Structure 1
């Protein structure tokens, strides 16, 4: 195990897992252990994160998709309204993983530079290769969420329709009517799929968000305080998650912005990350300068601005293509923090 950074170790596998836990257990167990354990320091938490992420990426990045639908049950002190929901219904392990992968990506980039500074070029190359794998998977996921893949899909289907129409005309000219009927059905199906993909891409391109990255919000039903750390133009969760959260009963349904939010640990230290529809959130009119604690705050945000909202790091803003927004301090000795 290489000690590449002063804070936490990471294992670089070549032909399998060889972490500190011995035999290759499920990364899920270590992830759940991190959720339940009373971790005394940020260093310990980072170490366990690295072990979870190391197992996750030890084979190949596409393995992410195989683990995105599992769900850990958690209790919640606030009970929901007429829909019979509680706050755990909006708990999102996939959103939580998305944040941890983002952290892993940032940390790998830091380790590459650290190794280069120490002239440890072999280690830097190993880390750079792993970073490339992670970045490729992150880009793929972002394209799927933002509708870029839907736009390409619609274009591909439109091209296929043009080709099939030419084949249809040839079949008609040769009086092969059985083939012509089959081609008509294929064209009809492709046109419907292309229209759906185009509509999805258009919805993503025209999405309007009511809340900003780093903004402090409250849940309309459950009342907890939270901070926006991610956003999707429409619900990007699985069908099973949407069924549990009763998304179909929302007044705006699934075709509204959904937000990844960090829940104040003083409300429930086990919830961590929720995935909340826009209609269930509201922002206080007055600045919320109260203390807000969450283990992810320190690596996603620089600090608070004069309105009590958090200032997202540059990489987080780039991930969601959001502009920087902050309310500056009036006092000259309390300058807002800049990009690092």
Structure 2
């Protein structure tokens, strides 16, 4: 969690310091893309500090205080496809993870304030946490269509009303109005059908991979860990064009995964958004080293297959069951004597 910030500082930062920062995330996040980072140590230090600066003070200029340098370029090339690994890099997935981090940190600070019997501070923190949760919910509904059912119901009611208006217009021989109403009804029916399909997809999707599972990219070959999932591609049309989603055999209507890319493979890629058809699970348990600055707050250990165990809040975010492969013996656990 974020270190070095007093409760009083957090509690007295204005509403725009939290809510406004989330709303304007994409503007501030562009600075992070340009920040030179050359080592795992730098990245482990800078990301929590950047989160503190951005969300709690609205000032991402903390990065200017670090003398860091970057060597641009991508290590993975897509053979013959005109793609490299950067084509699947996702800023929206990265901001989604960092906002999740911020929620966890706020919740921890609420409990810390309660432990110290600082009840006024705890209430201020709760208020900020409520703001963040409301904004996150709004963004998730817009991105993932989780409000599709209510949209279908709202549109159905609107269609009923418009049909009544249409009947009245016809009886009144107001044919110009009737034509406009028919067009509006047709538009709403199409939107209602799309919302119904979207809602059905979210309810019935089957994922081939689990949260925390180690995977390998079929094309670019890097090792990654699943940290999020959508039943279909939820990225922008411009992102899908760059990633050439239309050339995928299963297109955009397949599960897409937020994955953390091993920093030893490429410290710049960080988070990618990958279609299910481009991922492979290892045939054997992978107990090899995997490093990423987000591992420590999304997962709390590894299981007997070498996969990471997601924290409860992450499982709840994606409504996924707990899955943990047990170790065969105590000696096989990481850090054992064997």
TM-score normalised according to structure 1 size: 0.84
Aligned equivalents of 1:48 and 1:104: distance in 2? 11
| Aligned mate of 1:48, from 42, 47, 50 | 50
Contact 1:231 1:260 in 2 (8 A): yes
For residue 36 of structure 1, give the secondary structure of its aligned residue in structure 2. Answer: coil
Counterpart-to-counterpart distance in 2, 1:250 and 1:53: 37
Instruction: Specify the alignment match of 1:214 in structure 2.
Output: 212
- Supply the distance in 1 between the matched residues of 2:174 and 2:164 (Cα, whole angstroms): 14
**Worse-superposed segment, 49-58 or 325-334:** 49-58
- Note the C-alpha offset of 1:29: 6.3
Q: Name the CA distance, whole Å, in 2 between partners of 1:57 and 1:242.
A: 31
| Length, aligned pairs only | 311
Q: Is the 8 A contact 1:76 1:88 kept in 2?
A: yes
Q: For the aligned residues, what is the CA RMSD?
A: 2.6
Task: Note closer, same or farther for the CA distance 1:48–1:188 as it changes in structure 2 (3 Å cut).
Answer: closer
SS at 1:252's partner residue?
coil
Deviates more, 1:215-224 or 1:40-49: 40-49
Tell which has more relative contact order, 1 or 2 (C-alpha 8 A, sep 6+): 2
Decide which moves more: 29-38 or 89-98: 29-38
CA–CA separation in structure 2 for the residues paired with 1:16 and 1:135: 15
- Per-residue deviation at 1:14? 2.7
Distance in 2 between residues matched to 1:223 and 1:193, nearest whole Å: 40
Q: What is the CA-CA distance between 1:82 and the residue it aligns to?
A: 2.5
Say whether 1:79 aligns with 2:77: yes
SS of 2:83 mapped into structure 1: coil
Q: Is the 8 A contact 1:231 1:320 kept in 2?
A: yes
- Counterpart of 1:309 in structure 2 is 307
Give 4+ residue runs of structure 1 displaced > 6 Å after superposition. 333-336
Indicate the residue corresponding to 1:14 in structure 2: 14
1:107 pairs with one of 105, 108, 114: 105
Whether contact under 8 Å (1:303, 1:311) holds in the other structure is yes
CA–CA separation in structure 1 for the residues paired with 2:277 and 2:43: 36
Separation in 1 of the partners of 2:115 and 2:35? 31
2:266 matches 1:265: no
Residue 235 of structure 2 aligns with which residue? 237
Structure 1 position 228 matched with structure 2 position 229: no
The 1-side partners of 2:36 and 2:234 are apart by: 23
CA distance in 2 between counterparts of 1:100 and 1:15 reads 19
CA displacement at 1:87 relative to structure 2: 0.2
Whose helix fraction is larger, Structure 1's or Structure 2's?
A: 2
CA–CA distance in 2 between the matches of 1:7 and 1:261?
26
